[in-house]
Amino acid sequence: MTYNSDDLDPRTPIVVGVGQVSELLDSPAYQRRSPVDLAADATREALADTGANTAAVTAAIDTIAATRQFENSTPMARAPLGRSDNFPRSVAGRLGANPRRAVLEVVGGQSPQHLVNEFAAVIAAGDAEVVVLTGSEAISTIEAFAKAEDKPDFTEHAEGDLEDRGYGLKGLMSMHQASHGLTDAPSQYALFDNARRARLKLSREEYAQAIGELFAPFTKVAAANPHSSAPVERSAAELVTPTAANRLIADPYTRYVVARDKVNQGASVVLMSMAAAKRLGVPTDRWVFLPGHADLRERDLMDRADLSSSPASVLAARHALDVAGIGFDELAFIDLYSCFPSPVFNLADAFGLKPDDPRGLTVTGGLPFFGGAGNNYSMHAIAEIVQRVRRQPGSYGFVGANGGSMNKYSAGVYTTTPSQWRADDSAALQAEVNAWPAPVEARRADGWATIETYTVKHGRDGTRTGVVIGRLESDGRRFVALAEDAGLLAAEQPIGQRVHVHSTGKGNRVTAAAPPPAATAVLQDRYDHILVRRDGHLLEVTINRPDARNSLHPMANEELDHAFDAYFADDELWVAILTGAGEKAFCAGNDLIYSGSGKPMWGPANGFAGLTSRRSMPKPVIAAVNGFAMGGGCEIALACHLVVADETARFALSEVKVGLIAGAGGVVRLPRMLPPKLANEMILTGRRLGAEEALSYGLVNRVTPAGGALRGARELAAEILEGSPTSVRISLQVMEETRGIPDVVDAVTHHSPALDELMLTEDAIEGLTAFAQKRKPNWKNR
C-alpha cells in the first residue's frame, strides 16, 4: 500500500544520513586513525548527509549505538595499541554530542542491520527520536604498528554510562569444537560449502568454478568503490586457482575468497522519527524508509539437521520482504553478506539468484574485496543501499547481514517510498526455528561412521589438518573429529565415505580403518611428572610437581591416567594410594600458569588425574591428602573411594576465585557428600574446609598428625588388604550398580551377577576354609 508521508505516524522511523570513511596504509592521505577516529569521521559524514544543520542534529542525538571491534569481540582479544573503554561515548565526544543512551552491541556481522531494526522500533514506540549507529575497524593500522617504536596510543577513557551487551557468543563457540580444529571462521564455513557441494553432486573443479563465478562480479564492484581495501578486478579462475599469493586456507577456500579483515574503515547511519526530521529541517529527498525487517537465529552448528544450508537465514529474508509487501524480484539493489561463499549461495539458492544477476548481489564489493570490516561490514552496505534508492526514487534495496557461523541473520528493506512502520513477527518465527528437530551429538564417538561434511585446514607452514563432522552408523548421532591423516579427505568426494572414529583424551579421531585394540596398560618404571612405587599388592602414586604445588597440566594428567589404567588392569595390584610430593600440597588443581600460556590444552577421557570421569573404578583408591587439596585437587579427593588427611589439609573448590567452575565433578560430587548448604557455600565462595571439619562431615575417613597422611593411608590400605580382594572388588561393583536405585528395598533386592560369580571364586572358598581352619587366608584375587 502506498502512503503519502503526511498520512504516516510522525514517529515513523527513517534513515536520514549515511557516511563512510576509509584509509589505506600506502595512501598519501593516510593518518593512522584509531577506530574511534574512523567512526567519528564516518558519523560526521552521516550528519552532513542529512542536509540539515549539523550542529542542530548533533545536539538532538539522544542515542548512540555501536558495533564491536575485533579487539573487544572475545574475552581473549587484545588491543595492541590500546582502545577506548566506552567506544560509543568516545565517538559522541569527538562530535560534541551528549546522548542520554549509549549502547555497545554484541558480536556478529548481523549487528549493523539488527541495530537499524531495533532502534527503528524504539523510535516508532516513541522512546527515541535521533539515533546514531556507528562502527569501525583499524586492523591494518593496528597490525602495522603493533610492534613499532613510534606506535600510536589509542587508549582513551570516556565518561558516561554504557549499555554493554556483552559478546553474545553463546552457542557460537565451544571448547569441544575448538579442540577439534574449529577455531576459525574459514574452517567452519568450509563445512557448509562442502556439504552444499555434496548435495549438488558437483566435483571439486566444478564447485571451485562456481565460487569463482559467484565472486568475480563482486571484484568488479569493489574495483569501482573508493572505500575498497582490495580494489582489483579478478577473473573467476584467478580467484580460485591456488598460487603463492592465493594460498589454500581451508578446503575449498583460497585466500582471495575469504573475508579480508585487514582494513581501516568506518561507517555510520543516522535514524530519526519523521517528526524529528521535520523539526530539524531534513529535506524529504534524504528520507529513506524501512518497510520490511527481520532478525532470526539459526540453530547452533551441531544442532542443524542440514549442514548444507541455513533455512533460518532464508526465513528471515523472506519475512523481511513479506513485511514490506514485496517479492525478491521487485528489489533493485541487493547486498548479501559475503564473508565466504556459503552465505551468498544460501540466499541465492533460495531465491533463484544467479551470479550474473543484472542487479548484482553486492553494492560494496563484498567482504573479501571491499573488506570485512569486522562486525561493521553491513553498515557500509546500508550506506550504499540508502544512496542508491535515493538516486532511484521509489526503488527498493535489500541488505542481508549474517553473523557467527551462519548463526544470526538480520534483514532490512529500504525505499524512498513513504512506508508505514510495521512490526515484524520474528519472535514467533524464532520459536518455530527453535522447535526444529536437532541431531543428538556424541561428544565421545566410537565406531564405524559416515562423513557428513569436512574441511582440510592449510597452515602457512604447509601443515594440513582435516576436520570431519560425521554420523555414527550405530545410532545416527553426530560428532566432530580430527582426521589422523588429512590424506583421508583427499578423495574427489569424501562426504558419504565410511570411516572409523575413536575417542581419545585429546578428542575424537577418524581413520580409514578401525585401529588395532589398544594394548593393556603396563605400569612404567619411570614417568616425568609422577612417581610410582609397588609394595606387594599396593601401588603408591605420587604427583611429583612440588614447585607447582602439584598442580596438573596435560602431560601430568596423561601420566596419571596411564598409571591408573595400569593399576586397574593389573591383577596383582589390589589397592592404590594417590598423594602429592612435599608437605605443602596434595594437589592445587589445574596448572593455571600453563593454562594461561597459550600452549595446547587437553585432558584424558577419564578426567582430571585420570580419575574424575572414570566410569569404572573396580579397585580401591585412597587419597593421602597432605596440605592443600584445592580446586581440581579437591575434585580428585572426591573421586577417590577413601581419604586420609593430615591435620594441615585444606579442602576447597576455589574455581570461582579465578573465574572458573569446579567442572571436573566438584559441583556434582560435593553436594552429594556434604549437607547441601555447606556444599553450596564451598562451591559459591571457595570456602576452605580444614581436616577435622572435613572429618566431621564425612568427607575424610581419618586425620593424622602433620606429615602423616601417607603413613595413615598405608595403614588403611593394609586393613583393606587383609580382606579378600575379590570381595572388595565385587563390593565396589554392587555399590556402584545400586547407587542410582532410589528405593532401599529395590536396591537391596537388586540381583547382581557378580554375587553368583563370587561364590565360585577361589577366594570365597579360601575364606571359608581358612575360617574353619582358624588360619589367615591366602588370597589369590581369583
Pairing of strands 248-250, 253-254: antiparallel
Same domain, 683 and 738: no
Helix (H) or strand (E) holding 220: helix 204-223
Total number of residues shown for the chain? 782
Same domain, 274 and 335: yes
pLDDT of 194 strictly over 60: yes
Locus of grid cell 544460501: 346
Ranges of beta strands (E only) in 145-235 are: 163-164
Domain boundary among 413, 435, 457: 435
- In terms of C-beta distances under 8 Å and separation of at least 24 residues, what long-range contacts does 663-669 make, across chains too? 664/607, 664/608, 664/612, 664/613, 664/632, 664/635, 665/607, 665/608, 665/612, 665/613, 665/635, 665/638, 665/639, 666/631, 666/634, 666/635, 666/638, 669/635, 669/638, 669/639
Identify the band that residue 559 occupies on the pLDDT scale cut at 50, 70 and 90: very high
Domain boundary among 484, 511, 538: 511
Same domain, 741 and 665: no
Same domain, 10 and 122: yes
Same domain, 488 and 559: no
In-domain check, residue 221 = no
Pairing of strands 478-483, 530-535: unpaired
Is the separation of the CB atoms in 333 and 359 below 8 Å? yes
Q: What pLDDT was estimated at residue 660?
A: 86
Provide mean pLDDT across the span 655-670: 88
Give the residue numbers spanning the domain of 751.
Answer: 725-773
Active site amino acids: 635, 655
Put residue 526 in one of left, alpha, beta given phi > 0 → left and psi -120 to 50 → alpha: beta
In-domain check, residue 339 = yes
Domain boundary among 401, 435, 469: 435
Q: How far apart are CA 440 and CA 445, in angstroms?
A: 12
The HSE-up count of residue 194 (CA atoms within 13 Å, CB side) is 30
High-pLDDT (> 70) share of the chain, %:
99
In-domain check, residue 311 = yes
In-domain check, residue 235 = no
pLDDT of 767 strictly over 70: no
Q: How far apart are CA 83 and CA 71, in angstroms?
A: 8
Residues 6+ apart with CB under 8 A from 551: 545, 587, 588, 589, 590, 591, 592, 632, 633
Provide mean pLDDT across the span 757-773: 74
* DSSP line for 530-547: EEEEEETTEEEEEE--GG
Is the separation of the CB atoms in 192 and 520 below 8 Å? no
In-domain check, residue 522 = no
Is the separation of the CB atoms in 363 and 97 below 8 Å? no
CATH number of domain containing 640: 3.90.226.10
The set of cell numbers assigned to 557 is: 594428567
Q: What pLDDT was estimated at residue 431?
A: 98
Same domain, 387 and 490: no
Q: What pLDDT was estimated at residue 2?
A: 54
The set of cell numbers assigned to 395 is: 526503488
Same domain, 379 and 488: no
- Cα angle 445-446-450, degrees, rounded to a multiple of 5: 80
User: 468-524, pLDDT tens digit by residue?
Assistant: 999 999 999 999 999 989 889 999 999 999 999 999 888 999 999 888 887 788 999
In-domain check, residue 246 = no
Q: What pLDDT was estimated at residue 773?
A: 80
Q: What pLDDT was estimated at residue 737?
A: 82
Per-residue CA distances from 648 to 616, 642, 683 (Å): 31, 18, 21
Q: For 615, which DSSP code? A: S
In-domain check, residue 217 = no
In-domain check, residue 731 = yes
- Looking at the DSSP bridge assignments, the partners of residue 502 are 509
Q: How far apart are CA 296 and CA 391, in angstroms?
A: 30
Q: What pLDDT was estimated at residue 766?
A: 66
Provide mean pLDDT across the span 445-459: 96
Ranges of beta strands (E only) in 54-153 are: 63-66, 101-104, 130-138
Q: Reduce the secondary structure of 1-37 to three states and give it as a string.
A: CCCCHHHCCCCCEEEEEEEEEECCCCCCCCCCCCHHH
Q: What pLDDT was estimated at residue 772?
A: 82
pLDDT of 763 strictly over 80: no
Per-residue CA distances from 29 to 24, 36, 42, 222, 677 (Å): 8, 18, 16, 20, 65
Same domain, 539 and 458: no
Identify the band that residue 735 occupies on the pLDDT scale cut at 50, 70 and 90: confident
pLDDT of 344 strictly over 80: yes
Q: Report the domain count for the chain.
A: 4
Provide mean pLDDT across the span 529-540: 95
pLDDT of 171 strictly over 90: no
pLDDT of 1 strictly over 70: no
Is the separation of the CB atoms in 293 and 411 below 8 Å? yes
Helix, strand, or coil here: 489?
helix
Per-residue CA distances from 552 to 218, 314, 555 (Å): 51, 48, 8
Is the separation of the CB atoms in 382 and 18 below 8 Å? yes
Range scoring the smallest mean pLDDT among 210-224, 226-240, 334-348, 753-767? 753-767
Provide mean pLDDT across the span 145-151: 93
Same domain, 403 and 298: yes
Of 90, 35, 38, nearest in space to 64 by CA? 90
Q: What is the mean pLDDT of the chain?
A: 93
pLDDT of 3 strictly over 70: no
CATH number of domain containing 115: 3.40.47.10
Same domain, 645 and 732: no
Same domain, 349 and 475: no
High-pLDDT (> 90) share of the chain, %:
81
Per-residue CA distances from 633 to 586, 628, 649, 710 (Å): 7, 8, 11, 16
Same domain, 732 and 707: no
CATH number of domain containing 501: 2.40.50.840
